[in-house]
Structure 1
Amino acid sequence: MRTDLSTASWFKSSYSSPSQDCVEVAFLGGERVGVRDSKNPNGAALVFSSSAWGAFIAGVAGGAFDLR
């Protein structure tokens, strides 16, 4: 399935400086969230369901991906 991302409003974390490379996120509506590489804004993007994105964010906040 292809998703039109031409009108998406992409943003980076407030913890990122303007010159840092990181991921950008866009809430796409229809229960979808887009994620792309800020170094390549015209490249491929991943699209997740809102529930999958929420589970990822909860995992990050809970330390599930911390290196030990």
Structure 2
Amino acid sequence: MNREDDPKLWDLLGRAQKVEPSPFFARNVVRAIRLRQREKARWVGWLNPRRIVPTLSAVVAALLMITAVETF
């Protein structure tokens, strides 16, 4: 964006207070990204067939047992 595009905006930006980022800014950003990735990885882990198949098998077995008990 050039100064000619919006001179009022550039004047306002020129008067804005300058803020220096913390020396640890990059480290904190990377840490936040890693934490989010771990949270996502937990949910994706439940979609793993190693967890879904035994869980669904146990649910189906329990339902079959309940149905068999109610039938007799």
TM-score range, shorter chain: under 0.3
Structure number with the higher strand fraction is 1
For the pair shown, the structure with the greater C-alpha radius of gyration is 2
Structure number with the higher helix fraction is 2
The alignment's TM-score, normalised by the length of structure 2, stands at: 0.25
